[in-house]
Amino acid sequence: MDAIKTVELTKKYKDVTAVYGLNLTVRQGELLSLLGVNGAGKTTTIKMLTGLTRPTSGDAYLLGKSILTESAAIKVMIAVSPQETAVAPNLTVGENLELMAGIHGFPQTQTRDKVAELCDRFGLGEVANKRAGKLSGGWQRRLSIAMALISDPQILFLDEPTLGLDVLARSDLWDMIRALKGSMTVILTTHYMEEAEALSDRVAIMKSGRLLLTGTPAEIKRHAGTDKFDEAFVRIVKEAAQ
Amino acid sequence: MKVFAFSKRNDLEILRDPLNLFFGVGFPIVLLLLLTVIQRNIPVALFEIGHLAPGIVVFGLSFMTLFSATLIAKDRGSSFLQRLYTTPLTAEDFILGYLLPILPICIAQSVICFAMAALLGLPVTIHILTSVLFTIPVSLLFVSLGLLCGSIFTDKQVGGICGALLTNLTAWLSGIWFDLRLLGGAFQKIANLLPFVHAVEMERAVLQGDYTGVFPHIWWVIGYAAAVTAIAVFTFLRQMKRQ
């Protein structure tokens, strides 16, 4: 079974079509990056797949469940780490993780074990008792991803996970994202080409709400006739404009 | 369980903000102290502790709108609420999670105010306990107003509207600081059409043990609380759908 399969997925806002007839398949355990310039439709696509906005037409199936009719079942299987850091600022790191465990209905012992496991995995132990709002951007982003992972999601959506981070913090997060590969399906949106190339099994390039191309980073470069991934992206997007 | 986790978070967010503690507890106590001192120097019936304390309790509760609205508006403004919308929390969980945890804070605030009033000379009777119980519909009114404002405005707008406008409306149109009959006319008519003066009059009657004096004020308070809660729930659900 595919992790995600969209069928003519479309979203219109009054006169503007944000996503136009998207047909995309993501395999289980795959890390797929959604690439595109601003207004390409990446965020709208993620919003539809995560149940934040309803498609105007078409449907999508997450592990066989329809986003139109089975959103409650889908919410149990997915997790989202939004673009902005979405943490509760006056709660400590540990309390933020406990909050997410509580929201997923974990009993106390399981919550304790999961919080300890994630603190260990993400190196959050040293800041576990610090308030989230007092942490640096890099630490907050780590926490944000850890919060998404507490429910052991089968599909994880990472929206611009390294936006605004310095080189070291970004490198740390890349390692953490790489470690997730294979254990769950990951959909990543990013503006950083080197990030997409380094992390993705496959890449989907969107422009003006339409899907232009999908393929591995190597296939994308071959298609564009260049050995530089960022150059390939620019060529493909510019060609589509002509 | 899910609602409990979300409610606990909302309580902690409010209680860990030092400004909330100052305005929620410190400010009403300072007002009680200050006005009691004034009353001792220049005796004014309005500021006698048995008359003043219920007014300060209601005025203090008006800050709960600010706390609740700020929390919700900030959650909406950040991606935090969007994150939670993708979890198994239901619409009912969100509404209960935002409304219920603030009610115990309201009760605690009222208890602290009455305890301070007792230290300043308010006779300790069973009526204090019943007065605290009668703050529940008043609390629901102010907390629901918070849900409503937090669902409509940004956190900056909430600061102006709930922090300045609502607290002033509660102060001036409730008969806490001056007898509304002194102004009379349209001012008094408008005040009587709003719930604030009725909340204060109801609390004053209960504190005096005059349970027939609770009427008709309690109907105004319950009516407004029910209407505002219904509008707030509708508005929150609408913005949730829009998100």
pLDDT along chain A (242 residues), means of 10: 96 93 96 94 94 96 97 96 87 97 95 95 94 92 93 94 86 91 94 94 96 97 95 93 64
Interhelix angle B2-15/A93-103, nearest 10 degrees: 150
Question: Which residues in chain B are contacts of A50 at CB distance < 8 A?
Answer: 86
Whole-number pLDDT of residue A242:
61
User: Three-class SS of residue A89?
Assistant: coil
A16 and B CB contact within 8 Å = no
Please, are residues B14 and B22 in contact by the beta-carbon 8 Å criterion? no
pLDDT tens for B103-122 read: 999 999 999 999 999 999 99
Question: Which residues in chain A are contacts of B8 at CB distance < 8 A?
Answer: 99, 102
A133 and B CB contact within 8 Å = no
Residues 54-113 of B with CB under 8 A from A: 78-80, 82-89
CA atoms within 13 A on the CB side of A212: 26
Task: Report the residue of chain A nearest B17, measured CA to CA.
Answer: A90
Rounded alpha-carbon distances, angstroms, from residue B78 to A100, A131, B129: 17, 17, 40
Residues A117 and A123: their CA atoms lie apart, in Å, by 10
DSSP 8-state code for residue B120: T
Residues B198 and A200: their CA atoms lie apart, in Å, by 64
Whole-number pLDDT of residue B194:
97
Whole-number pLDDT of residue A167:
87
pLDDT tens for B178-227 read: 889 888 899 999 999 999 999 999 999 999 999 999 999 999 999 999 99
| Count of C-beta atoms within a 10 Å radius of residue B156 | 11
DSSP 8-state code for residue B179: -
Q: Which strands, in side-by-side order, build the sheet including A210-215?
A: A78-81, A155-159, A185-189, A31-35, A202-207, A210-215
Give the Cα-Cα-Cα angle A177, A156, A30 (nearest 5 degrees).
Answer: 70
Whole-number pLDDT of residue A241:
67
Judge: B80–A87 Cβ closer than 8 Å, yes or no: yes
Selecting from B6, B79, B89 the residue whose C-beta is nearest the C-beta of A84 gives: B79
Please, are residues A188 and A156 in contact by the beta-carbon 8 Å criterion? no
The helix, strand and coil proportions of chain B, stated in percent and rounded to the nearest 5, come to: 85, 0, 15
A102 and B CB contact within 8 Å = yes
β-strand partners of A3 = none
Whole-number pLDDT of residue A168:
87
Q: How many CB pairs under 8 A join A and B?
A: 77
A79 and B CB contact within 8 Å = yes
Task: Report the residue of chain A nearest B76, measured CA to CA.
Answer: A86
> What is the identity of the amino acid at B128?
I
Question: Which residues in chain A are contacts of B71 at CB distance < 8 A?
Answer: none
CA atoms within 13 A on the CB side of B19: 9
Residues 6+ apart with CB under 8 A from A52: A46, B82, B85, B86, B243
Whole-number pLDDT of residue A154:
97
Judge: A51–B9 Cβ closer than 8 Å, yes or no: no
The helix, strand and coil proportions of chain A, stated in percent and rounded to the nearest 5, come to: 40, 25, 35
Question: Which residues in chain A are contacts of B5 at CB distance < 8 A?
Answer: 98-99, 101-103
Question: Which residues in chain B are contacts of A75 at CB distance < 8 A?
Answer: 86-88
Judge: B1–A105 Cβ closer than 8 Å, yes or no: yes
Buried b (16+ CB within 10 A) or exposed e, A84-122: bbbbbbbbbbbbbbbbbbbbbebeeeebeebbeebbeeb
Question: Which residues in chain A are contacts of B12 at CB distance < 8 A?
Answer: 88, 90-91, 95
Whole-number pLDDT of residue B1:
76
Which of A43, A70, A90, A149 to mutate to test binding with chain B, by most B CBs within 10 Å of its CB?
A: A90
Whole-number pLDDT of residue A169:
84
**Cis status of the peptide bond prior to B195, with omega within 30 of 0:** no
DSSP per-residue letters across A132-197: GGGS-HHHHHHHHHHHHHTT--SEEEEESTTTT--HHHHHHHHHHHHHHBTTBEEEEE-S-HHHHH
A83 and B CB contact within 8 Å = yes
Judge: A102–B84 Cβ closer than 8 Å, yes or no: no
Question: Residue A16 — φ and ψ, nearest 5°?
Answer: -100, 130
Say what the pTM is: 0.91
Please tell me the distance in Å from B107's CA to the nearest CA on chain A. 22
B11 and A CB contact within 8 Å = no
Please tell me the distance in Å from A220's CA to the nearest CA on chain B. 32
